[in-house]
Structure 1
Amino acid sequence: MTANPLLFCLFILAQLSALNAFGSDSYTPSVIPTFKEMAPISAEDAVLSDEFNDDLYAESQHFSENAYWHKLTFPKNIEQENTKTLYLTLSYYIIERLDFYVFHDDKLVAQWSRGALQDWGKDSRQYDGIWIPITLSNQHSTSLLIRKQGSHPLLTPIKLMDSSTATNQKAQKLIFWTFIISTLSILLIYNVFLFALLKQPGFIYYLGLNLIIFISLSTITGFNRWIFSQTFSQWITTNLFVVFGLGAWALFRFSIHFLKDIQIPAPDSLIKRYGDGLFVAFLLATQVFSVKTFALLFAFIEVLLFFMCIAWGLKAYNKGFTPVRFYLFSWFFLLTGSILNTLIFWKILPITPATEAIFPIACILQLLGFAFAFADKAKQMERDRRIQALTDLATHLPNRTYYFDKLPAQLEKQGLTNQKLALVMIDLTNHQTLSQAFGPAKADAAMCEIILKVHQQTMTMDGLLPFSLSNKNAMKIIRMTTKKIVFISTMPDRLKTQIQHIQDTLDHPTLVNKVHFRHQYKIGSALYPSQGTDLDKLYQHALIAKDSVTYSSGNWVPFTDNLKNNHAHQLRLITLLTEDIQHDVLYFDIQPQVDLSTNEITGGEVLIRWHNDHVGQVSPGEFIPLAEQTGLIYKLTDKLLESVFLWASQHPRALHTQRLSINISALDLLQDNFAKHTLDRLSKYQLAANKFTIEITETSIFQNNALVHHNVKQLHQAGFKLAIDDFGVGYSSMQNLVALETDELKIDRFFIMNLLDDTQSQILCRNMIDLSKALHITSVAEGIESEGILQLLKSWHCQVGQGYHLYRPMSPIDYLTLLDKTVPPLSTPINRA
């Protein structure tokens, strides 16, 4: 279908070119007697001059600022009684000054000005082009003088014909150029509509290029006087090579935009960086050098553009960019036509009806080619959109849509629906931490880098299912979210080995902002079809397994039915917790803290509690992590602070000589204005900040966060003391001592409970106490459950202790009662289950 318009266009052009050929009655002189004007001379003197000779004619056809006179002589018309009129016409219309004089013997009988920079007067026949009537006298010899002056070359071919032939030629030429201009306009309008649909970037350059082609073509052929004013036509003639240069630059810029999707030319290439400068230099040269010089420069630019555009097109086609086929077609014909037209300008090719038609035909073919190119690119864009809908833009890996929409059909097509498979999910859990530390852009880049490393690793592994895309690329992992990827093993019996290879890649440090950073991750897997008969269920079970990963379980947990039951239980707890937070169901206990040197109660730790009507008492170790995972922790902390401050304001004796320690999540410190809201609430109840210690679980904190530092600084300045809870477990403990400007270090019960039997725990615990002394911060041992442990801690000069051997957690009322009593012996602690 696409070939039919092209064949039709070529057929019509061939017919019109044939019609444009001169009839048998036309005559074309090959050499005309010429002389060079060395000083101003009148036509009357010139017609009588004997300096005309054939040798100067060739010189007059090249670049020169001199004026040349040409003379054609016709004998008396003695064969006919009536006078006979011949018509002279030219094919080249950009000679600046061109004057015609008709003499009968030495008498001037008619004259015309037809130069490109001359005023043709009110002669309406100017719109027919240059048609000079020569009336032959039957009594006198007739002479035609032609004076040519200008920086542009050429004059010939001069054609002479009789009246009937001239009339036919005028009509045929009018038909030819009307067809050319109409076709150019229609194709250009069609391409504009295509652009409006495609929103093709850089089309403004293409539109400008074709406008310049239209103006240049009209000027070269003299058609400009049909459509432009005389003033504009003369300006174009004077600055013709400026117009040519702008057209070449528009072609250059459009080519870059048309091919930029596939990065041709390369962003760092010399032509991309300095190409615009080359055209600026050419435009400046047109204002400095002679026409001949910048005509040579433009010829060089034409050839350079020809080979450059062809090379770019072939390179793009090799990359699979199919619309470039018609790009090559269009630029080949346009630049070939332009170069051949330049050869005519340089008199290397003669002006004939065939060569005259080359550039117009090339322009039409260029527009026609780009009409197909735009249509082809529309198809390419649609294919790209389909691929983009199935791929991750950052890594070009298959995405979530591919997994759920395309993968089932692929499994069925490959006959894998009855084969045993294993879905493996990898969750890079430190994305939020990286975002807080380095910003989201660098965090995303770090995620992409490690995911692509995993992708490279999987491409070398056997037993993994390849995922085919429509562009024929095959991958072995799917990026489901920013931080989750999955792959499918076709050899579940080798799953452990396959995951180990992946872990080796994940465990390798990544350089983020000049810091070596080790990614944290969780891996879950589920078997097909035993643990999921479709991809949706398989994904769900792998997700449950991944979420079940703990520090004690390692990084990988395979799915089991028990995990599914636990997951359902956790979902129910989250629902119930959300409701109970809203209804203020949660409450708090207080566990007294004792000065180990005096046995006096120095304060108490506030411990949040939850008793639900449906599931009973729920341990903080179970619901606090769920609250952190789901974002409920912020409301939970808010409710706890409100409750504690309200209670403390109602019972001021609780803070008379003692302090209260309140646990918060490290995530709270990552909340904007957390410190301000806490201080506002404290002021509301008219409490002193120095009566409270904020305890932070250190395993969630990241020490280099500016928001954390800001909140910590405000809390410190107000008088709060800060403690690191569960010190020694998790990671970054030493760094957090500095980051949080810690006032108190709580040694985790994990080390305390084994003090009597475990030498390593003794060494670590004692070192942590010594570290506290060296840093001038308070050491607090939690989980003291025997007299032996208590005495050992006292011997190491641990400052504060808490635990069941001292006091169990108790209600706020019991805590107040305890404070009103004398401190009881440590061997008979007050117990409350």
Structure 2
Amino acid sequence: MMFRRVFFVLLTLLVYSQSAFSLVVAETTLGELPTFKETASTSPHDILLNAEFKQSLYRESQDFATPAYWHKLVFPKAISPSSAPSLVLGMNYYVIEHLDFYLFHGDQLHAHWTRGALQDWQGDTDHYDGIWIPITLSNDASTTLLIRKQGNSPLLTPFKLLSNQEAANQKENKLLFWVFVISSLLILLTHNFFVFILLRQPGFVYYLCLNVVVLVALSVITGFSRWIFSETISQWIIQNLFTIFGLGTWILYRFSVQFLKEVNIPSPHSLIYKYGDAVFILFLILTQLIPVKASASLFAAIEAFLLITCSYWGIQAYKKGFIAVRFYLFSWFVLMAGSILNTFIFWKILPINLFTESIFPISSLLQLLGFAFAFADKANHIEHKRQLQALTDIATGLPNRTYYFDRLPEEINQIGKNHPKLALIMIELTSHLKISQAFGPAKADSALCEVILNIHQEAIKMDGILPLPLPNKKQKKLIRFTAKNIVLISTTPDLIKQQIQHIQKTLDQPTIVDKVLFRHQYKIGSALYPSQGGNLDKLYQNVLIASNSVTYSSGHWAPFTSKLKSNHAHQLRLITLLTDDIRQEKLYFEIQPQIHLADNRIVGGEILIRWHNEHLGQVSPAEFIPLAEQTGLIYKLTDMLLEKVFQWSSSNPSALTAQTLSINISALDLVQEDFSERVENLLHRHNLPANKFTIEITETSIFQNSAIVDHNVKKLHSAGFKLAIDDFGVGYSSMQNLVSLATDELKIDQFFVMNLIADSQSQTLCRSMINLSKELNIISVAEGIESEEVLKLLQAWQCQVGQGYHLHRPMSPAKYLMLLEEKDQPLSPPTNRA
């Protein structure tokens, strides 16, 4: 807003100053003058008396040329003998290196003025206010004015003859106009310097340099350089004017590259991006080597090319939604139009007059103001982009978790009157880990984004889904809450079943991952607003409860209910109490003996974790172990169990004399980098042999084969531990785990063992697993032996080790020691498992 106010104030003053400049009385404009081309150095007297002036040479004298040219103006003697009347010759100043005026009365030199850019003006002007030559007419003879021009710059005409009063008026108004332009540029430069200090935007330094170059160029072209710079600097700038112009054009190029970098324009791989700087450096070198006319031609070509190129860049950036480029384009058109028109004046395509003389300074000022607006717009664009990035997911462009909590409440409040009831639907894509293991994380992320965007496309087509406006004015209908959780808001809860079915059709479509068709697994939960959640935090919590209750046997969608809430509350209480009891080490262990089935000898025992809580009583491991894995408590639980088992074993070495102990851990423990080192250090602290312990990994846990797991397995094996897979056959990737863990034991799950008598399929599978153990030369252990018939069947198949209620029940460590001390170790009487 501040920039716009400055713009309108300056524009108003500019119009006023131009009007003032135009308010002059009538003047006489001289046409083509008699011209003489100097071929050898000669004096003004000789030129006056002997030179042959031809009007046909006038046009040649106005071009870029190195020879000196003379022009002659002849005035008759004054009519009035009482006083010699006077006129004033006015002309435009366009950097003419050597310019001399000789006034003759008859054949006598009356006055001499030097007004060349590289000449000493002999101190006859207090300050520059244009080129004004006073012509006093003689009463006795004719008056002749000779004008000598030498240099590579064109002498721009027409010449004007004015009365003294007319000249005074034009001097004053012209001075007003140029002081305004130069002052405006200085003010703008100062202002922009402080803006640069505050913003520090990339590219702004080029804008500041452009301010300086424009100020220098205008001051030289108009002659104001004599006010701003010393004589030496001013003359150096004049001698290298096209170098200055080329430097300004290069700065414009660099400014454009930096300004449009936000939208990757131009492409870093484009030729102009790679070689643009080299082209401008070459031009700057050439300006020192080639004639001025050639430099002017080359500069005009570069101007035209840069105008076309940068205009194209700006249009492409605007198409990409970079709104700040609108003032950039405006500035380019204004600047380049002014520069080209000013070049046309040099080439005499346009006449020099009051209007054309002001084109370049006005365009320069307007383009600088335009670029200032462009930077202000860019700052706003960057701020909007920052807000957009904070509210959206980078990979998909969808609203994110921050949007859900910060912006979504506002949207719901706005539509609350029309839609008092809403429903939150959450989709959890649960197959991401499997895709990562199979194809790598990059392809897994790509596949996940693809299915999310497909769902979003379907949601856009659906009625009754709340649109979600973003800061860039675009609307979405899906929120990516986490990497694998997406949510949408239904404004028609009565139709939620149909909406979810529509989404499921998209989810059930296979995705191609690395040329393999893959079907995503997912869970969907929903909750009603406001009846099942008065705010979005509570609503999402209840949706999570609903989603977590989904089992693949029951379907993919579960709406939130009060019963689910009660179950969830119970789980939360379990987690809280388990955390406290683990911290206080209140959990304990029992041991279930393991029997060598060939001779009924106790060869070891399995450590079984137990939890008795003062509020809940006895809690089954099947209930608290999965919760411990979900919440991360499993790590502390494993550490506590290992400490208790190793401490007891150290205190009771007889338990390891001829037997071993098997300790269950979670597969999640193996994913910890330092797990094997911690176990080994704990074992050494208690001075125990590792070969007396078997580490059992529950095969029903999702096993992630990785370098960390491989490291832990090798370290445990090298330390002397045996490894076993527990509950084999009911989990994931069983054969893969056999190889990855270099398994010493294979424990056949009780699900198969308990059904051996009645189920022929269980017999086949169980017998196959025993044979597999033989082939792999590992120990087979059958769990859940609860009858004599099952025992005899396993013995017949040559299963090596067994455990179960028919053999021995789990018992306290003390009873286990007593059992080992008995010479005749009887089996438990047959009984049904409680």
TM-score (norm 1): 0.88
Identity level (%) = 64
Identify the range of structure 1 (787-796 vs 218-227) with the bigger mean alpha-carbon deviation: 787-796
- 1: CA distance between counterparts of 2:42 and 2:602? 125
* Aligned-residue offset at 1:197: 6.0
- 2: CA distance between counterparts of 1:167 and 1:418? 77
What's the counterpart of residue 299 of structure 1?
300
1:61 correspondence with 2:57:
no
Contact 2:196 2:205 in 1 (8 A): no
- 1: CA distance between counterparts of 2:112 and 2:790? 127
- 2: CA distance between counterparts of 1:766 and 1:617? 36
What's the counterpart of residue 367 of structure 2?
366
Contact 1:151 1:291 in 2 (8 A): yes
- 2: CA distance between counterparts of 1:106 and 1:767? 132
What's the counterpart of residue 675 of structure 2?
674
What's the counterpart of residue 789 of structure 1?
790
1:206-230 Cα deviation digits (max 9, x unpaired): 2222222222222222222211233
* Aligned-residue offset at 1:634: 1.8
Contact 2:787 2:830 in 1 (8 A): no
Contact 2:437 2:704 in 1 (8 A): no
Contact 1:66 1:149 in 2 (8 A): yes
Aligned residue for 1:565, secondary structure, equals helix
What's the counterpart of residue 655 of structure 1?
656
What's the counterpart of residue 17 of structure 2?
16
What's the counterpart of residue 152 of structure 1?
153
1:588-636 Cα deviation digits (max 9, x unpaired): 2222333334443332222222111111111222212222222222222
What's the counterpart of residue 233 of structure 2?
232
1:31 correspondence with 2:32:
yes
Q: One-letter code of the match for 1:302?
A: E
- 1: CA distance between counterparts of 2:276 and 2:700? 56
Aligned residue for 2:731, secondary structure, equals coil
Identify the range of structure 1 (663-672 vs 374-383) with the bigger mean alpha-carbon deviation: 374-383
- 1: CA distance between counterparts of 2:129 and 2:427? 79
Aligned residue for 2:762, secondary structure, equals helix
* Aligned-residue offset at 1:294: 4.2
Q: One-letter code of the match for 2:251?
A: A
- 2: CA distance between counterparts of 1:702 and 1:60? 92
* Aligned-residue offset at 1:485: 1.2
- 2: CA distance between counterparts of 1:796 and 1:712? 30
What's the counterpart of residue 344 of structure 2?
343
1:604 correspondence with 2:616:
no
Q: 1:446 to 1:39 in 2, by over 3 A?
A: farther
Q: 1:127 to 1:611 in 2, by over 3 A?
A: same
- 2: CA distance between counterparts of 1:510 and 1:538? 31
- 2: CA distance between counterparts of 1:698 and 1:149? 98
- 2: CA distance between counterparts of 1:214 and 1:330? 16
Q: 1:349 to 1:410 in 2, by over 3 A?
A: same
- 2: CA distance between counterparts of 1:577 and 1:289? 88
Aligned residue for 1:127, secondary structure, equals coil
* Aligned-residue offset at 1:365: 2.5
What's the counterpart of residue 454 of structure 2?
453
Structure 1 unaligned blocks of 5 or more: none
What's the counterpart of residue 355 of structure 2?
354
What's the counterpart of residue 582 of structure 1?
583
* Aligned-residue offset at 1:749: 2.7
What's the counterpart of residue 542 of structure 2?
541
What's the counterpart of residue 522 of structure 2?
521
- 1: CA distance between counterparts of 2:183 and 2:602? 101
Q: One-letter code of the match for 1:571?
A: L
* Aligned-residue offset at 1:391: 3.8
Q: 1:772 to 1:553 in 2, by over 3 A?
A: farther
What's the counterpart of residue 204 of structure 1?
205
Identify the range of structure 1 (537-546 vs 86-95) with the bigger mean alpha-carbon deviation: 86-95
* Aligned-residue offset at 1:75: 4.8
1:2-29 Cα deviation digits (max 9, x unpaired): 9876665444333322433494475443
1:137-178 Cα deviation digits (max 9, x unpaired): 555655444443333334323344455444443333322122
- 2: CA distance between counterparts of 1:42 and 1:651? 128
Matching of residues 67-86 of structure 1 within 5 Å: 67-76=68-77, 79-80=80-81
Q: 1:112 to 1:753 in 2, by over 3 A?
A: farther
What's the counterpart of residue 181 of structure 2?
180
- 2: CA distance between counterparts of 1:647 and 1:741? 28
Aligned residue for 2:358, secondary structure, equals helix
* Aligned-residue offset at 1:357: 1.0
1:723-779 Cα deviation digits (max 9, x unpaired): 333333332333333333333333333333333333433343333334444444333
1:520-565 Cα deviation digits (max 9, x unpaired): 4332222456544554443222111112234544443322222111
* Aligned-residue offset at 1:664: 2.0
Identify the range of structure 1 (715-724 vs 363-372) with the bigger mean alpha-carbon deviation: 363-372
- 2: CA distance between counterparts of 1:800 and 1:282? 90
* Aligned-residue offset at 1:268: 6.7
Structure 2 unaligned blocks of 5 or more: none
Aligned residue for 1:588, secondary structure, equals strand
- 1: CA distance between counterparts of 2:623 and 2:133? 105
Matching of residues 366-765 of structure 1 within 5 Å: 366-374=367-375, 390-404=391-405, 406-407=407-408, 410-411=411-412, 413-414=414-415, 421-429=422-430, 447-469=448-470, 471-490=472-491, 492=493, 495-506=496-507, 519-528=520-529, 531-532=532-533, 535-550=536-551, 552-765=553-766
Contact 1:807 1:831 in 2 (8 A): no
Contact 1:129 1:223 in 2 (8 A): no
What's the counterpart of residue 248 of structure 1?
249
Contact 1:195 1:203 in 2 (8 A): yes
* Aligned-residue offset at 1:800: 3.1
* Aligned-residue offset at 1:681: 2.0
- 2: CA distance between counterparts of 1:624 and 1:24? 103
Aligned length: 833
- 1: CA distance between counterparts of 2:700 and 2:227? 83
- 1: CA distance between counterparts of 2:268 and 2:456? 26
Contact 1:703 1:736 in 2 (8 A): no
1:641-672 Cα deviation digits (max 9, x unpaired): 22222222222232333332222222222223
1:473-517 Cα deviation digits (max 9, x unpaired): 332222223332112345556545543443454455656788877
- 2: CA distance between counterparts of 1:80 and 1:686? 135
TM-score (norm 2): 0.88
Q: One-letter code of the match for 2:355?
A: A
* Aligned-residue offset at 1:65: 3.5
- 2: CA distance between counterparts of 1:721 and 1:713? 11
What's the counterpart of residue 223 of structure 2?
222
Contact 2:137 2:143 in 1 (8 A): yes
Contact 1:808 1:831 in 2 (8 A): no
Q: 1:551 to 1:681 in 2, by over 3 A?
A: farther
Identify the range of structure 1 (465-474 vs 455-464) with the bigger mean alpha-carbon deviation: 465-474
Contact 2:788 2:830 in 1 (8 A): no
Contact 1:609 1:620 in 2 (8 A): yes
* Aligned-residue offset at 1:355: 0.9
1:375-417 Cα deviation digits (max 9, x unpaired): 5556666665665555444433233454455545545654677
Contact 1:190 1:371 in 2 (8 A): no
Q: 1:454 to 1:137 in 2, by over 3 A?
A: same
- 2: CA distance between counterparts of 1:175 and 1:649? 103
Q: One-letter code of the match for 2:13?
A: I
- 2: CA distance between counterparts of 1:443 and 1:120? 79
Aligned residue for 1:605, secondary structure, equals strand
Q: 1:759 to 1:251 in 2, by over 3 A?
A: farther
1:30-69 Cα deviation digits (max 9, x unpaired): 2233333444445555444424322222112223344433
